[in-house]
Every structure is written in structure tokens, then in C-alpha cells.
Amino acid sequence: MKHGIRNSLILAAVLIVMVVGGWFILDYVYSPQIEELEQQRTQREQEYNSYAETAAMYEETLLELNRQYYIRDNHPKELFHNHRSGRVFDYIRQLNEGISFTNFNYSIRDSVTHGEYGIVTVLLRGEGAYRNLNNFVHRIEHSSAIMHIANLQITNITELGRLSRVTFEMTLQLYYNRDDRLEWQPRMYMADAMGNIGHNPFYPLIHPVPPNTRNLVEVDDSRLVGITSQFILLRDQGGTLKRLTVGDEVYLGTLQRIDTDRQEAIFHLNRGGIFDRVRMALD
């Protein structure tokens, strides 16, 4: 065999061995490593895409976070920081001061939890002037603590001398925070009272008149016997001579004015809700 042919055959055999050996090495040695690297590359691409999306949302998320902070800091209502009985009672007591004052008994009826918040139910039973109770309710509703008046029953008092007062029974539900992750303390802002109201709907328009236990002058049964610009003289229901000046109290009212020109005295009386002006002339 010629040397050229033999060399060509040897070279071809070497090439075949190299190709087969290279294929074997790639398929059985490096192929698993290549697949693992491909998986890592795919995973890195997914992570990159996720980070890219997060980075693109950063500005929008930051704006939303600042907006939520603003809402939180300026929201008119807040959760109680905890549900300790003394803390809750002290807050209610402060709302009940001044022209909102009423006498009440305080008791806790129930406490339930709902995830990150809880509800404490308390019962208030008491008595007070209607205008004070009205201011108390106003302060409960408009203060920052989240308190819900679940039930309110009001009963008027018919006893003379206490007609402007009422008894009440109020069920309050107070919402408190149970999430320890919240780092800020609630401010617990307290609203101002509404002020005096013009009419008490529980005050009876017509009511019995009190007896004349102080033996005041009863205008209907008295007689005017003397009059000056400063005072009047009259003989009362018992025949006693009495001296009265403007503003002096009589039974069911007061001496309102002295009219020397007409020689008469004008009294203003409250006959159990019926307001009456009585003129008493000099005989």
C-alpha cells in the first residue's frame, strides 16, 4: 500500500476517533452541565425580569406609600391602642366632663377579636341634664376614637324640680388595635362639645305646678295697695302686707315691671308650662 493512501486512512481513522470521542464526551460528560447552566440562565432571566418590573413600579409604589401615610396621619378616626379597661374608661370619662357631664355607671359586657382589631362592648347607665347628654353623644360621635353607639335609650323624668333631666342606657362598641407591627401611638383627639341646645324634647310642655311650700306671694289671691317707682306694697293671700321690688320672686314667677303711669304691677308666671303675664292694678 502506498504511503499516501496509508497516511490518508490513518488520518481518517484519527478524525473518526476524535469525532466519536468528542461527541461521547459532550453527550455524556458536559451535557448535564450544559442543561444545568441553561436552567440557571433561565432562572436568572426570570429574576432579572421580576427585578426590572419591581424597579419600574418603585416610583408609583413610593407615591402610594406616601399617600397612605398622609391618609393615616390625617384620618379623623383611630383605633384604640389597646383594650385595657382603665384606658377605655379614662377616655370616656374625659368626654363626659364640663357641659357634657352626666352621672353614669360603667360596665364591660363583651370583648371579641377580628384579626388585626378587636371590639370591646361597654354599657353606660346614668342620669343627667338632657343638654349634657346631647353634648356627650356629640363628643362620642365626633372624637377620633372609633366608637359605635349600638343602642341608646332615653327616658324623661317626671319629678318636679328634675324635669330637665333624663335617665339613659347606652351601649358602646369601641374598636382597638391588635397588630403589634403598628409603631405609632394614636392621638385620641377629643371633639369639642356642641354647646347649649334650644329645646329639650323630653321636657314636658305641660306639667304639675309645685306647691307653695315657701309661702310666697300668690298673685291671684293678693291685692295691690301701694305703688312707687321703686317698689310696690300688696296684701298677700294671708292678709300680710308685703313689699316687692322688680325681680323679686312670687309663687310661680317674679315681679317683672312697675308701671307708675298706669298704677299697675306686671308679673310673669309659669303655670306648669303655661306662661302668663298678670297685671295687678291699684284700686
* Model pLDDT, residue 114: 77
Assess whether 2 and 65 both reside in one domain: yes
Cell of 206: 305641660
At residue 12's C-alpha, the angle toward residues 9 and 17, to 5°, is 125
- Of the ranges 37-41, 110-114, 278-282, the best mean pLDDT one: 278-282
Assess whether 95 and 153 both reside in one domain: yes
Give me the CATH number covering residue 124: 3.30.70.60
pLDDT at 182 over 60: no
Dihedral angle at the C-alpha atoms of 255, 259, 260, 261, nearest 10 degrees?
Answer: -170
The number of distinct structural domains making up the chain is 3
Hey, how many other C-beta atoms are within 10 angstroms of the C-beta on 130?
Answer: 22
Assess whether 66 and 90 both reside in one domain: no
Lowest mean pLDDT among 1-15, 214-228, 233-247: 1-15
* Model pLDDT, residue 2: 60
pLDDT at 211 over 80: yes
Question: Using one digit for the tens of pLDDT, what is the confidence trace for 95-109?
Answer: 999 999 999 999 988
Assess whether 49 and 93 both reside in one domain: no
Structural domain range at position 164: 85-177
Instruction: Select the more confidently predicted residue: 129 or 37.
Output: 129
* Model pLDDT, residue 183: 54
* Region label for 266, one of left (φ > 0), alpha (ψ between -120 and 50) or beta (otherwise): beta
- Residue 190: inside a domain, yes or no? no
- Residue 203: inside a domain, yes or no? no
Lowest mean pLDDT among 12-16, 139-143, 188-192, 273-277: 12-16
Q: Which of these three, 74, 101, 128, is where a domain ends? A: 74
Hey, how many other C-beta atoms are within 10 angstroms of the C-beta on 58?
Answer: 9
Assess whether 26 and 93 both reside in one domain: no
pLDDT at 91 over 80: yes
- Residue 189: inside a domain, yes or no? no
Strands in 38-146 per DSSP E: 103-114, 117-129
Asked if 104 contacts 125 with a C-beta cutoff of 8 angstroms, the reply is yes
Assess whether 173 and 257 both reside in one domain: no
How far is residue 241's CA from residue 250's CA, in Å, rounded to a whole number?
14
Question: Using one digit for the tens of pLDDT, what is the confidence trace for 17-70?
Answer: 666 666 666 666 666 666 777 788 888 888 888 888 877 788 888 888 888 777
Cα 216 from chain centre: 48
Question: Which uninterrupted H or E stretch holds 52?
Answer: helix 31-74
Residues 6+ apart with CB under 8 A from 267: 219, 250, 253, 254, 255, 256, 277, 278, 279, 280
Question: Using one digit for the tens of pLDDT, what is the confidence trace for 133-176?
Answer: 999 999 999 888 889 999 999 998 877 778 889 999 999 999 98
Furthest CA-CA distance within the chain: 174
Instruction: Select the more confidently predicted residue: 120 or 180.
Output: 120
* Model pLDDT, residue 21: 63
Give me the CATH number covering residue 224: 2.30.30
Assess whether 108 and 70 both reside in one domain: no
Could you give the percent of the chain with pLDDT greater than 70?
A: 82
Q: Which of these three, 24, 43, 74, is where a domain ends? A: 74
Residues 6+ apart with CB under 8 A from 270: 252, 253, 276
Assess whether 92 and 152 both reside in one domain: yes
Q: What is the mean pLDDT of the chain?
A: 82
Assess whether 62 and 97 both reside in one domain: no
Assess whether 235 and 166 both reside in one domain: no
* Model pLDDT, residue 196: 74
Q: What are the backbone angles phi and psi of residue 21, rounded to the nearest 5°? A: -65, -40
* Model pLDDT, residue 108: 85
Assess whether 117 and 160 both reside in one domain: yes
How far is residue 122's CA from residue 111's CA, in Å, rounded to a whole number?
9
Assess whether 102 and 52 both reside in one domain: no
3-state secondary structure of 149: strand
* Model pLDDT, residue 1: 55
- Residue 79: inside a domain, yes or no? no
Q: Which of these three, 74, 107, 131, is where a domain ends? A: 74
pLDDT band at 88 (very low <50, low <70, confident <90, very high): confident
